[in-house]
Amino acid sequence: MNMATKKILGIIPARYGSTRFPGKPLADIGGKPMIQRVYEQVCQTLSTVYVATDDERIDQAVKAFGGKVVMTSVDHQSGTDRCAEALRKIVALEEEQYYAVINIQGDEPFISPLQIEKLAGCFENSATELATLVKPVQVKEDLFNPNKPKVVVSKDRYALYFSRSPIPYLRGEAEEKWVEKHRYFNHIGLYGYRSDILNEITELPIGVLEAAESLEQLRWLENGYTIRVEETDEQAVAIDTPEDLEKVLKSGLI
């Protein structure tokens, strides 16, 4: 099966009830709701894109701008779980089978279509089960920030481990010099899943590594799945709080 026949589905999970920013997907950015800006960016690369939500207000907003949307359960613990349910519904709606799914964060209105393309390209190799992106760490603050997970990558570009700690520990070097002495990577929260693998991983129980670090991708590694890694130098602007939105509106990005 070549990429011409490997259909890739884009899914944007979107919840209304964000703790730090309720109603975030509907926040106005230059006259468009945030979810519309994300959707339009993804449509530049993928031909079939859906929003997966648990809220009628988001459902109506997507329909209002002509987007495709499916309603999913309010009980999902992660975007991955929501994607799995959405995939089953979309397959029935479109009467199509999709080789792989790209999970796009719903709070990145300026996500780069090139990043999505790079991730989709991982599935040209039929051995790819899961895929994600990493970005080289440039500054110490990003290395030691537990909210910016780090990734250890093998020589053949597979993820060995994800951690909120800076790994590897650079023995004998002052922490100020770690970034210049070793090539560290931050994780970029964009995922690709082969469709059969997506259905499998959402049936797995939470493992001890995931419970410790609160990183769902460790569940996949702990169960023997492989995660293909591609490198990017781009970092999309994520909007987690109303303050983040204010910064974007003042930044001149739109």
Within a domain: 2:
no
Domain count, the chain: 1
Structure token pair of residue 215? 């990183």
- Mean pLDDT across the stretch 182-210? 96
Within a domain: 27:
yes
Each residue's pLDDT tens digit, 84-109: 999 999 999 999 999 999 999 888 89
Q: In terms of residue numbers, what domain contains 13?
A: 8-247
Q: Which residue has the tokens 């993804």?
A: 42
The answer to whether the peptide bond before residue 149 is cis (omega within 30 degrees of 0) is no
d(CA 140, CA 133): 20
pLDDT grade for 1, boundaries at 50, 70 and 90: very low
pLDDT grade for 254, boundaries at 50, 70 and 90: low
Q: State the amino acid at position 137 in one-letter form.
A: V
Within a domain: 254:
no
Within a domain: 25:
yes
Cβ of 247: how many Cβ atoms within 10 Å?
12
Q: What is the mean pLDDT of the chain?
A: 93
Within a domain: 142:
yes
Q: Are 36 and 67 in contact (CB under 8 A)?
A: yes
- Mean pLDDT across the stretch 62-69? 98
With 0-12 / 13-18 / 19 or more C-beta atoms within 10 angstroms meaning exposed / middle / buried, residue 204 is middle
d(CA 27, CA 35): 8
- Inform me whether the pLDDT recorded for 69 exceeds 80: yes
What's the pLDDT at 18? 74
Within a domain: 239:
yes
Can you give the CATH number for the domain in which 155 is found? 3.90.550.10
Each residue's pLDDT tens digit, 37-53: 999 999 999 999 999 99
Within a domain: 65:
yes
Structure token pair of residue 86? 């959405």
Within a domain: 252:
no
Each residue's pLDDT tens digit, 16-39: 877 778 888 999 998 999 999 999
